[in-house]
């Protein structure tokens, strides 16, 4: 049951606190300091000794009162000297949501342990879920700090703190900026190479953190930003009914139809096919969308024939949709004849609906397929390492945080557009001529598409020589596909090793 469904059930049953109108009491600050030592066999055969540190770090108000606390898990390699410790890179990693904890990156890609789920987009099933050593961990080249924003994981407002000070586009960036500064001071790592690594909404958070960290009176220069399946410009994210969104989604429709053998003329290889589709989008599809009703009928019919060939959707469906098909409609329509729908976060995943006539899917088969495995494996991992050290619930995600997320104040009155952080990223690269960016995208990700990432970069003023774009044959959480996990982990190690 989702947190939202549980909340609805509680409301329907009439379960209440002694005072329904009274806010829940905020917890008192905790002083948690946990440490365990381990050894990991790395991808190249080396043995790495490291410490796993769990700790609370406090944020204070002007009256020096603790108003929020982050609980973070850090992985720190053992070093022979203080100089080696400071010279070692440190990567601050976070997922997205907004309102998600970091367990996905933690146990999927970065940490020294990972949960094993089917690589072929199959359902992970029921417990137990294997938790194994991760020889591809980024710990090989960088210390790791897994960041859980306020009201995710064990991080909470405390005392006189207010959630609204952390739940928002700018508020969140300022909050995590303060956490990173506190962590660097506590661990004496101001002189270390520093990287930010964000997934999904983390693609919005990271560029804003570039602004927060590198700006102000005490700037902290960064070495690199790593973005996994990032949201960067919300006008290009699925669910937005804009011509730009339809355009950047089309190559992912093609990849999905190719994967599921749903094309009328299936090509042998995916990448040359996608290159052809991308050229079609640039040269024909976008101009046609802009022409609208002025598009000549013969040209429209020729375009529909190509859309059918590239996506597998029937010509009449494209005709009735006026050349514009949303990702949700595509997910439901592509395999309707087989009685199946494809996933949003990873379109390799398949699911079934109660009926075969709905317009859009009721859920995402990827999340239902692996979500339980990640949640159970992380809780077991935390308990095995540290025991029952707190009664506070570990929140994998926070629907309250996501639902009450505040946008930046409108700069142009009521006509306020989409959140777009590409200017912040470009400005950060201009101010820091050594800052490099790595953007990884999944070819089967219908939420934040690979073509959207490429379009975001090419329309920006970022120094393209310092931007790496990499695509992988998987979805949003591309590391659930083991060949991609190996490839992506190697690319990230190389990226950091080149920037020391």
Mean pLDDT of 415-422: 84
Q: Which residues contact 173 (CB under 8 A, 6 or more apart)?
A: 205, 208, 209, 211, 212
pLDDT digits (tens, 9 = 90+) for 276-321: 999 999 999 999 999 999 999 999 999 999 999 999 999 999 999 9
Q: Which of 102-106, 256-260, 325-329, 360-364 is predicted with the least confidence, judged by mean pLDDT? A: 360-364
pLDDT digits (tens, 9 = 90+) for 159-196: 999 999 999 999 999 999 999 999 999 999 999 999 99
Tell me what percent of the residues of the chain surpass a pLDDT of 90: 83
Nearest Cα to Cα of residue 454 among 277, 327, 240: 277
Quickly state the pLDDT bin for 413 (edges 50, 70, 90).
low
Predicted local confidence at residue 402, as pLDDT: 80
pLDDT digits (tens, 9 = 90+) for 61-73: 999 999 999 999 9
Whether residue 429 has pLDDT greater than 50: yes
Whether residue 18 has pLDDT greater than 70: no
Predicted local confidence at residue 410, as pLDDT: 67
Both structure tokens of 209: 């953190």
Decide: 369 and 122 in contact? Cβ < 8 Å: yes
Mean pLDDT of 477-481: 97
Write out the residue limits of the CATH 3.40.50.1820 domain(s) in the chain.
Answer: 25-235+371-497
Whether residue 455 has pLDDT greater than 80: yes
Whether residue 16 has pLDDT greater than 80: no
DSSP type of residue 397: B
Quickly state the pLDDT bin for 367 (edges 50, 70, 90).
confident
Quickly state the pLDDT bin for 151 (edges 50, 70, 90).
very high
Decide: 137 and 112 in contact? Cβ < 8 Å: yes
> What CATH number does the domain located at 25-235+371-497 have?
3.40.50.1820
DSSP state string for 152-164: SBT-EE-TT--GG
Mean pLDDT of 2-11: 35
Whether residue 45 has pLDDT greater than 60: yes
Greater confidence (487 vs 216) lies with 487
Helix H or strand E encompassing 423: helix 422-431
pLDDT digits (tens, 9 = 90+) for 324-364: 999 999 999 999 999 999 999 999 999 998 888 888 888 89
Q: Which residues contact 285 (CB under 8 A, 6 or more apart)?
A: 247, 250, 303, 307, 323
Mean pLDDT of 100-107: 97
Report helix angle 270-280 to 243-259, nearest 10: 160
On whether the pTM is more than 0.85, the answer is yes
* CB atoms near residue 125 (< 10 Å): 13
- Residue where the block lists tokens 């090419």: 458
Per-chain mean pLDDT for the chain: 92
Whether residue 197 has pLDDT greater than 90: yes
Decide: 153 and 32 in contact? Cβ < 8 Å: no
Tell me what percent of the residues of the chain surpass a pLDDT of 70: 94
Quickly state the pLDDT bin for 5 (edges 50, 70, 90).
very low
């Amino acid at each position: 049951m989702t947190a939202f469904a549980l909340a609805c059930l509680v409301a329907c049953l009439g379960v209440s606190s002694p005072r329904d109108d009274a806010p829940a009491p905020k917890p008192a600050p905790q002083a948690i300091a946990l440490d365990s030592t381990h050894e990991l066999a790395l991808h190249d055969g080396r043995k790495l000794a490291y410490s796993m540190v769990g700790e609370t770090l406090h944020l204070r108000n002007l009256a020096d009162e603790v108003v929020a606390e982050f609980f973070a898990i850090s992985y720190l390699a053992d070093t022979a000297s203080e100089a080696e410790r400071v010279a070692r890179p440190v990567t601050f990693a976070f997922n997205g949501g907004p309102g998600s904890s970091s367990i996905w990156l933690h146990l999927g890609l970065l940490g020294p342990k990972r949960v094993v789920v089917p690589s072929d987009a199959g359902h992970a099933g029921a417990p137990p879920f294997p938790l194994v050593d991760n020889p591809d961990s980024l710990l090989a080249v960088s210390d790791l700090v897994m960041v859980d924003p306020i009201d995710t994981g064990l991080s909470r407002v405390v005392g006189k703190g207010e959630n609204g000070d952390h739940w928002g586009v700018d508020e969140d960036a300022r909050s995590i900026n303060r956490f990173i500064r506190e962590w660097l001071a506590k661990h004496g790592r101001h002189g270390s190479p520093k990287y930010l690594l964000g997934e999904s909404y983390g693609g919005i958070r990271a560029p804003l953190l570039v602004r927060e960290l590198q700006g102000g009176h005490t700037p902290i220069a960064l070495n690199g930003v790593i973005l996994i399946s990032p949201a960067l410009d919300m006008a290009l994210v699925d669910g937005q009914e804009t011509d730009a969104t339809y355009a950047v989604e089309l190559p992912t429709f093609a990849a999905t139809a190719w994967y599921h053998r749903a094309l009328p003329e299936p090509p042998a290889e995916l990448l040359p096919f996608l290159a052809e589709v991308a050229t079609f989008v640039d040269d024909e599809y976008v101009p046609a969308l802009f022409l609208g009703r002025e598009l000549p009928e013969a040209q429209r019919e020729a375009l529909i024939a190509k859309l059918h060939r590239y996506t597998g959707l029937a010509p009449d469906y494209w005709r009735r949709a006026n050349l514009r098909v949303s990702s949700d409609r595509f997910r439901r329509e592509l395999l309707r004849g087989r009685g199946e729908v494809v996933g949003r976060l990873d379109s390799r995943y398949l699911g079934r609906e109660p009926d075969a006539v709905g317009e859009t899917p009721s859920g995402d088969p990827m999340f239902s397929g692996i979500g339980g495995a990640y949640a159970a494996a992380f809780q077991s991992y935390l308990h095995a390492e540290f025991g029952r050290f707190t009664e506070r619930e570990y929140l994998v995600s926070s629907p309250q945080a996501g639902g009450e997320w505040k946008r930046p104040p409108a700069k142009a009155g009521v006509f306020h557009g989409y959140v777009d952080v590409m200017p912040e990223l470009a400005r950060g690269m201009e101010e820091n001529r050594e800052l490099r960016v790595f953007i990884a995208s999944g070819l089967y990700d219908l939420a934040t598409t690979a073509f959207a990432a490429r379009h975001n970069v090419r329309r920006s003023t970022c120094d393209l020589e310092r931007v790496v774009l990499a695509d992988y044959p998987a979805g949003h959480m591309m590391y659930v596909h083991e060949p991609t996990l190996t490839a992506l982990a190697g690319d990230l190690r190389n990226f950091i090793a080149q920037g020391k």
